[in-house]
Amino acid sequence: MLEVTNLSARAGIFVLSNVSLNVLPSSCHVILGPTGSGKTLLLESVIGLRNPQAGKVILEGKEITCLPMERRGLSYVPQDLALFPHMTVRENILYPIRIRGGKQDIENGIVRELVDSLGINHLLDRSVRNLSGGERQRTALARAVASGCNYLILDEPLSALHESLKKELWYLLKDLQRRYDLAILMVTHDLEEAFFLGDTVSVILDGKVCQQGTTDYVYQHPASLDVAGFLGIRNLFHVRTERVTRDSLQAYCEDLGATLKFPRSTLKSGSAETSSFAVGIRSEDVAILMPGESKPDLTNIIEGSIQDIFENGAFLTLLVTIRSSSTSLEAALPRVTANKLGLSRGIPIFLHLPEESLFLVVRGSPDRLR
Amino acid sequence: MTFRKISIACSFTTFGLYAVLILSLFYFFQGDKLVDTLLSERTLFSVRLSVAAATISTVFSILIALPAAFALSRYEFPGKTAVDTMLELPMIVSPAALGAMLLIFFNNPLGLWIQDHGAQFVFTFYGIVLAQFITICGVSTRLIKAAMDEIPSRYEAVARTLGASPGKAFLTITLPLSRRGIIAASILSWAKALGEFGATITIAGSMAMKTETLPIAIFMRLSSAEIEGTVILILILVSMGLSILYIVRSLSKGSSYA
């Protein structure tokens, strides 16, 4: 396991504060954050390119904070891949083996298997300057894995690729991870990439880790308004607790002009006494009901009208104006469903906010709730 | 007249200035004296002395410039700005002053001790090499640093995470990637050493067949109003210099890895 404990680092006036995270063997931990949030500074401190001001980096029980980069056992792929331009693909891949005085025969063992699995056999004698983006990626990954390190440190390695190639490489990276039993610590600002590749995630904003957990948990339960905002959740409203029972919680939302009901489990421990929260729901979790459609036993129904419709590939995004206030709520639904419903601007609709899809954020909550 | 035309005209004016100077040499050029002057023992000695001294001083300067340039390009350390500024000293101080500084140093207790217990520098071949070394060392370091600055340090970082020690990363990544820049810096330094005059004559004097480098030979022939011989020596120096610059230009093409 790779452990980072209370690591602080500085680059100019930017400060990375007190970061702790764990990368379990054979898992992928993603550091997710916007540009300038300190993700790369964190990675550079972990690999030893920068000296941290405080904190420890521990690999499989051994502290490596002060070890030189070549003795850390972490293989690094930077954003621009840093393929050695004076070498061929073969020489790049063999570099970590040759530099350690190892066997140079690419036709044998792990390197051959690696080259085959990445589909770059035909590129071996080509200069890396003549490779396409995807080929460069594969070569950089092959070189990193050929080093024999079980821990890969990836700094937004797929950011320069177009969508289809990026997705192809997601699968490839997953396959490599399983095949070679790799633990990966990677940085990205791409939400889809983070949730696809990551087993666990740390959301980092302004040099601080704001939330950590499994990707599933973080996706469903953003811990703060900042995290929710960064995760692209636009439906965030303030609510005031009206009633807390053993099973549920009722809170009035002035923005939506309605009392919303939540499962009691939505509340974090110790926060039951708090009376003021923010409530959020992802646009794709909002259900659309047409006037006259029966809605027996449904809670959290809100009346509104379609203000605008935006095309978003396979989905349509609706901006709905709530009837009892001027607030807008965003809903996303598959194009096929939208076409069936015959939606258009100005028509009245009902929005259903399923209890299980709502999440609560304590206002003024500490940075990390979990 | 457009800005483009004005700027191109200026570039040709610069070219013209030097071209006129070179062409004007031919006014005093006497073909029949060419072979005699070229093959005279004194000229051959000057050429050999100049080439040998320039080569030795260039080798020494590159040996120290390589690690120095790497340190200035890659590391932060106390006094870095002072070191970096000092590299310009040979460019801002006149060569004669640089030579005078050397002469004064060898008349100080430390300098005298070195002369007594080590090599004699004043009025000797070693003095020529030292004068040229002092003149080109800063330039070599500056040029090699510029070449290394072009190479992203991430290459070395990645090499190190792949198992290379700092020394191996330097030898396998930085050095090959900056190879063209280092060769260009060596050739330019050599050319500068070949043409060095002020510092050399100050510390090594102008003794015929002893410390008479090519530039000193030109000065001495001019002093004795031997214009035809001076022209031929200048043409030798110009031919050597321009050939070297042509080689540097060829090497510099496509050298960027950034």
pLDDT in tens, A6-32: 999 998 888 898 899 999 998 999 999
How close A76 gets to chain B, by Cα (Å)?
A: 6
Q: Which residues pair with A13 in a beta bridge?
A: none
Name the pTM for this structure.
0.79
Q: Which residues pair with A319 in a beta bridge?
A: A308, A330
Asked whether the predicted pLDDT for residue A358 surpasses 50, the reply is: yes
Find the closest chain A residue to B153 by CA distance: A82
Q: Are A351 and A302 in contact (CB under 8 A)?
A: yes
pLDDT band (50, 70, 90) for residue B157: very high
Q: What angle do the packed helices B41-74 and B31-39 form, to 10 degrees?
A: 70
Residues 6+ apart with CB under 8 A from A19: A4, A6, A7, A8, A42, A55, A202, A204, A208, A209
How close A74 gets to chain B, by Cα (Å)?
A: 6
Candidates B76, B161, B171: best to mutate against A (most CBs of A within 10 A) is B161
Q: Does A136 lie at the interface with B, CB-CB under 8 angstroms? A: no
Asked whether the predicted pLDDT for residue A205 surpasses 80, the reply is: yes
Q: Are A91 and A84 in contact (CB under 8 A)?
A: yes
Please report the pLDDT score of residue B119 as a whole number: 82
Q: What angle do the packed helices B125-149 and B41-74 form, to 10 degrees?
A: 40
Nearest by CB to B176, which of A47, A86, A149?
A: A86
CB distance A69–B160 less than 8 Å?
yes
pLDDT tens digits along A65-123: 989 999 999 999 998 899 999 999 989 999 998 888 876 565 566 678 888 888 888 88
Nearest by CB to A80, which of B154, B165, B172?
A: B154
Please report the pLDDT score of residue A162 as a whole number: 81
Please report the pLDDT score of residue B149 as a whole number: 93
Q: Are B67 and B148 in contact (CB under 8 A)?
A: no
Q: What angle do the packed helices B227-252 and B41-74 form, to 10 degrees?
A: 30
CB distance A82–B163 less than 8 Å?
no
How close A92 gets to chain B, by Cα (Å)?
A: 10
Asked whether the predicted pLDDT for residue B172 surpasses 50, the reply is: yes
Which stretches of chain B are DSSP H helices? 3-25, 31-39, 41-74, 80-86, 89-92, 95-105, 109-117, 125-149, 154-161, 166-169, 175-177, 179-194, 198-204, 214-223, 227-252
Q: CA–CA distance from B248 to each of A170, B181, B183, B185 (Å)?
A: 46, 9, 8, 8
CB distance B163–A147 less than 8 Å?
yes
3-state secondary structure string across chain A:
CEEEEEEEEEECCEEEEEEEEEECCCCEEEEECCCCCCHHHHHHHHHCCCCCCEEEEEECCEECCCCCHHHCCEEEECCCCCCCCCCEHHHHHHHHHHHCCCCCCCCCHHHHHHHHHCCCHHHCCCEHHHCCHHHHHHHHHHHHHHCCCCEEEEECCCCCCCHHHHHHHHHHHHHHHHHHCCEEEEEECCHHHHHHHCCEEEEEECCEEEEEEEHHHHHHCCCCHHHHHHCCCCCEEEEEEEEECCCEEEEEECCCCEEEEEEHHHCCCCCCCCCEEEEECCHHHCEEECCCCCCCCCCCEEEEEEEEEEEECCEEEEEEEECCCCCEEEEEEEHHHHHHHCCCCCCEEEEECCHHHCEEEECCCCCCCC
Residues of A in contact with B257 (CB under 8 A): 85-86
Here the tokens at position B93 are 């101080």
How close B83 gets to chain A, by Cα (Å)?
A: 23
Candidates A43, A44, A84: best to mutate against B (most CBs of B within 10 A) is A84
Query: What is the percentage of chain A residues whose pLDDT exceeds 90?
Result: 28
How close A59 gets to chain B, by Cα (Å)?
A: 14
CB distance A70–B173 less than 8 Å?
no
CA neighbor of A74 nearest in space, from A90, A101, A96, A93: A96
Residues of A in contact with B173 (CB under 8 A): 84
Asked whether the predicted pLDDT for residue B258 surpasses 50, the reply is: no
B147 vs B75: CA distance, rounded Å: 15
Please report the pLDDT score of residue A157 as a whole number: 79
A274 vs A271: CA distance, rounded Å: 5
CB distance B154–A82 less than 8 Å?
yes
How close B63 gets to chain A, by Cα (Å)?
A: 23
How many residue pairs bridge chain A and chain B with CB atoms within 8 Å of each other? Answer: 62
Q: Does A246 lie at the interface with B, CB-CB under 8 angstroms? A: no
A137 vs A135: CA distance, rounded Å: 5
* Average pLDDT, integer, range A255-263: 86
pLDDT tens digits along B195-225: 899 999 998 888 888 889 999 999 999 998 8
Find the closest chain B residue to A44 by CA distance: B157
Average pLDDT, chain B: 89
State the burial class of residue A273 (Cβ atoms within 10 Å of its Cβ: 0-12, 13-18, 19+).
exposed
CA neighbor of A175 nearest in space, from A159, A200, A197, A153: A197
CB distance B157–A78 less than 8 Å?
yes
How close A72 gets to chain B, by Cα (Å)?
A: 8
pLDDT band (50, 70, 90) for residue A294: low
Amino acid, res. A191:
L
Please report the pLDDT score of residue B254 as a whole number: 56
Q: Give, as one character, the DSSP assignment of residue B172.
A: I
Asked whether the predicted pLDDT for residue A367 surpasses 50, the reply is: no
Asked whether the predicted pLDDT for residue B159 surpasses 80, the reply is: yes
Please report the pLDDT score of residue A265 as a whole number: 73
Q: Does B167 lie at the interface with A, CB-CB under 8 angstroms? A: no
Q: Does B182 lie at the interface with A, CB-CB under 8 angstroms? A: no
Reported ipTM: 0.80
pLDDT band (50, 70, 90) for residue A219: confident
Q: Give, as one character, the DSSP assignment of residue B118.
A: S
CB distance A68–B158 less than 8 Å?
no
B217 vs A158: CA distance, rounded Å: 64
* Average pLDDT, integer, range A236-250: 84
Nearest by CB to A82, which of B158, B163, B166?
A: B158
For residue A13, the tally of other CB atoms under 10 A from its CB is 5
CB distance A96–B165 less than 8 Å?
no
CB distance B161–A95 less than 8 Å?
no
How would you label B27-63 residue by residue, b for 16+ Cβ within 10 Å and e otherwise?
A: eeeeeeeeeebeeeeebebbbebbbebbbbbbebbbe
Residues of A in contact with B154 (CB under 8 A): 78, 80, 82
Please report the pLDDT score of residue A258 as a whole number: 86
Q: Are A176 and A6 in contact (CB under 8 A)?
A: no
Which of residues 19 through 78 in chain A touch B, CB cutoff 8 A? 47, 49, 68-70, 72, 74-78
Kindly give the pairing relationship between strand A151-155 and strand A74-77. Answer: parallel
A335 vs A250: CA distance, rounded Å: 33
Residues of B in contact with A95 (CB under 8 A): 159, 162, 164, 172
Half-sphere exposure of B58 (CA within 13 A, CB side): 21
CA neighbor of A262 nearest in space, from A330, A142, A353: A353
Here the tokens at position A331 are 């809903």
Kindly give the pairing relationship between strand A248-253 and strand A258-263. Answer: antiparallel
Q: Does A130 lie at the interface with B, CB-CB under 8 angstroms? A: no
Find the closest chain A residue to B161 by CA distance: A70
Query: What is the percentage of chain A residues whose pLDDT exceeds 70?
Result: 92
pLDDT band (50, 70, 90) for residue A296: low
Q: Are B237 and B214 in contact (CB under 8 A)?
A: yes
CB distance A47–B165 less than 8 Å?
no
Please report the pLDDT score of residue A257 as a whole number: 86
Kindly give the pairing relationship between strand A151-155 and strand A2-11. Answer: unpaired
Residues of B in contact with A74 (CB under 8 A): 161
Q: CA–CA distance from B211 to each of A75, B53, B75, B122, B233 (Å)?
A: 57, 10, 40, 10, 16
B210 vs B219: CA distance, rounded Å: 15
CA neighbor of B65 nearest in space, from B7, B136, B131: B136
Q: Are B203 and B121 in contact (CB under 8 A)?
A: yes
pLDDT band (50, 70, 90) for residue B252: low
Please report the pLDDT score of residue B53 as a whole number: 95
How close B163 gets to chain A, by Cα (Å)?
A: 4
Q: Is B251 left (phi over 0), alpha (psi -120 to 50) or beta?
A: alpha
pLDDT band (50, 70, 90) for residue A272: low
State the burial class of residue A323 (Cβ atoms within 10 Å of its Cβ: 0-12, 13-18, 19+).
middle
Most distant CA atoms of chain B, gap in Å? 67
Which of residues 46 through 85 in chain B touch A, CB cutoff 8 A? none
pLDDT tens digits along B139-153: 999 999 999 999 999
Please report the pLDDT score of residue A362 as a whole number: 67
Q: Does B154 lie at the interface with A, CB-CB under 8 angstroms? A: yes
Q: Does B45 lie at the interface with A, CB-CB under 8 angstroms? A: no
Q: CA–CA distance from B60 to each of A291, B111, B185 (Å)?
A: 89, 20, 13
CB distance B160–A95 less than 8 Å?
no
